[in-house]
Amino acid sequence: MNRTVVTAIPSLPPAQIAALAASYDRAIVRRRMRFAGGVIAFVLLLLLAAVGSEVSLTTFFAKLGNFTSYFYRILHLDSGAWVWTDFAEWFWGLKKWVVLIAETVLISYVGTIGGAFAVFLLNFLAARNVGPCLWLRIAVARGFELCRTVPGIVFALIFVIAFGLGPMAGVFAIMIHTTGALGKLYSEVVENIDMKPVEGVRATGASWITGIRFAVVPQVMASFASYTLLRFEINVREASVMGFVGAGGVGQELLVAVRKFYYSDVSAILILIIVLVFAIDISTGFLRHRLIGMEHTR
C-alpha cells in the first residue's frame, strides 16, 4: 500500500516576512552604495593621477595628428609609394637586419640561461619552507629585489660604460635582470611544493642539499622550465631596445633609422622584430603548455 507523505511547509508570519524583506533591501542598498562609492573613489584617484602625470586631453587631441602622420610616413618609401608596392626597396637591408636580429636572440638566450642558472642555485635559499636560515633567506631575497628593481636598459647603460659598445653589455644586463625576475618566481614555486617528500628525506638524516636534490627539484623542474621560457620571450623584447644605449642587437640599427628619418627602414625593422616576437611567443607558448601538462599528469 502506497502512502503519501505530506510535508507541511512552515510559513512565517507576514510581519516577520516583511521585516526580513526590508532587511534584505537595506543590505542590497548598502552594497550598491559601497560599490558606487568605490567607483567614484577610483575615478577621482585616476583623475588626480592623470593631473599629477600631466595627462592632458587637449594636448592629446592637438598632437594626435603628429602620431598618425608618423605612421603614415613610415609606410611610404622615399619615392612616395606605399612600402608594400616594392618589397625589394622596403627590405633593402634584410641581410644586415637578419644578422642583427640573430644577435638580439643570442643576447637574450645567453642572458636568460645565465640568469636562470644563477637563480637555480640561489632560489632555494630564499624560499621560506626550505631555506636553511633566516638571515640568508632575507639577504638572497633582497638581492633578487635589487636585480629586478633596476630596469634592464639601465644595467645595459652601466655595462656599456664599463665594457664598451657591443653585445656583451646586453648579455650581462639581461642576465642580472633575469636573475631578479626569475628569483621571485622560482622561490614562490618552491614555497608551494608538497612538503611530505622533503620531510621523508629529512627523516633519513640526509643533508640539506640531498633533500633539495631528491625531494624538491623533481617537483619544481617543469615550472622552472616554463617560467624560463616565458622570461626568454620577454628578454627578446628587452634586448630589441637595449641597442638604443649601444648594447648590441637590432635596437641600435632601429635607433639610427629613427634619428636619420629613414622612415621605411623603421617600419621594415619593426616588422622583423614583430615577426620574431610572434615566432618566439608561439614556440615558447607551445613548450610551456607541454611542460605544464606533463607536470599535471605526474
Confidence of residue 59 (pLDDT cuts 50, 70, 90): confident
- 9 pLDDT more than 70: no
Question: For the domain that residue 133 is a member of, what is the CATH number?
Answer: 1.10.3720.10
Confidence of residue 5 (pLDDT cuts 50, 70, 90): low
> How does pLDDT run across 234-257, given as a tens digit for each residue?
999 888 888 888 888 888 889 889
Determine the Cα–Cα distance for residues 258 and 209; give it in Å rounded to an integer: 52
Determine the Cα–Cα distance for residues 76 and 82; give it in Å rounded to an integer: 4
> How does pLDDT run across 33-51, given as a tens digit for each residue?
999 999 999 999 998 988 8
Are 39 and 154 found together in one domain?
no
Confidence of residue 185 (pLDDT cuts 50, 70, 90): very high
Mean pLDDT of 178-200: 90
Confidence of residue 63 (pLDDT cuts 50, 70, 90): confident
Sign of CA dihedral 125, 128, 134, 139: positive
Distance of CA 273 to the CA centre of its chain: 18
Mean pLDDT of 129-153: 89
Determine the Cα–Cα distance for residues 244 and 165; give it in Å rounded to an integer: 11
Count Cα atoms within 13 angstroms, Cβ side, for 118.
Answer: 21
Query: Please, are residues 219 and 103 in contact by the beta-carbon 8 Å criterion?
Result: no
Are 212 and 262 found together in one domain?
yes
pTM above 0.85, yes or no: no
- 284 or 180, higher pLDDT: 180
76, β-bridge pairs: 82
Are 260 and 117 found together in one domain?
yes
User: Does a structural domain hold residue 3?
Assistant: no
Sign of CA dihedral 172, 175, 180, 183: negative
Average pLDDT, the chain: 87
Res 18: pLDDT? 79
The C-alpha cell at 67 is 602620431
Mean pLDDT of 54-80: 85
Are 99 and 212 found together in one domain?
yes
Are 235 and 182 found together in one domain?
yes
Q: How many domains does the chain have?
A: 2
Determine the Cα–Cα distance for residues 147 and 261; give it in Å rounded to an integer: 35
Determine the Cα–Cα distance for residues 27 and 13; give it in Å rounded to an integer: 21
Angstrom distances, CA of residue 1 to CA of 4, 34: 10, 59
Determine the Cα–Cα distance for residues 294 and 90; give it in Å rounded to an integer: 44
Please name the residues in contact with 88: beta carbons below 8 A apart, sequence gap of 6 or more: none
User: Does a structural domain hold residue 131?
Assistant: yes
User: Does a structural domain hold residue 72?
Assistant: no
- 265 pLDDT more than 80: yes
- 292 pLDDT more than 70: no
Are 280 and 220 found together in one domain?
yes
Are 48 and 103 found together in one domain?
no
Q: Is 142 left (phi over 0), alpha (psi -120 to 50) or beta?
A: alpha
> How does pLDDT run across 225-236, given as a tens digit for each residue?
889 998 998 999
CA angle 85, 86, 87 (to 5 degrees): 115
Are 207 and 96 found together in one domain?
yes
User: Does a structural domain hold residue 65?
Assistant: no
Query: Please, are residues 183 and 147 in contact by the beta-carbon 8 Å criterion?
Result: yes
Q: In this structure, how many other beta carbons lie within 10 angstroms of the beta carbon of residue 76?
A: 15
Are 136 and 224 found together in one domain?
yes
Sign of CA dihedral 204, 210, 211, 217: negative
Closest CA to 246 of 160, 155, 153, 158: 160
Are 45 and 98 found together in one domain?
no
- 6 pLDDT more than 80: no
Are 138 and 47 found together in one domain?
no
Res 240: pLDDT? 87
User: Does a structural domain hold residue 170?
Assistant: yes
User: Does a structural domain hold residue 70?
Assistant: no
Are 144 and 46 found together in one domain?
no
User: Does a structural domain hold residue 40?
Assistant: yes
- 226 or 19, higher pLDDT: 226
- 175 pLDDT more than 60: yes
Domain that holds residue 134: 91-297
- 260 or 19, higher pLDDT: 260
- 159 pLDDT more than 60: yes
User: Does a structural domain hold residue 226?
Assistant: yes
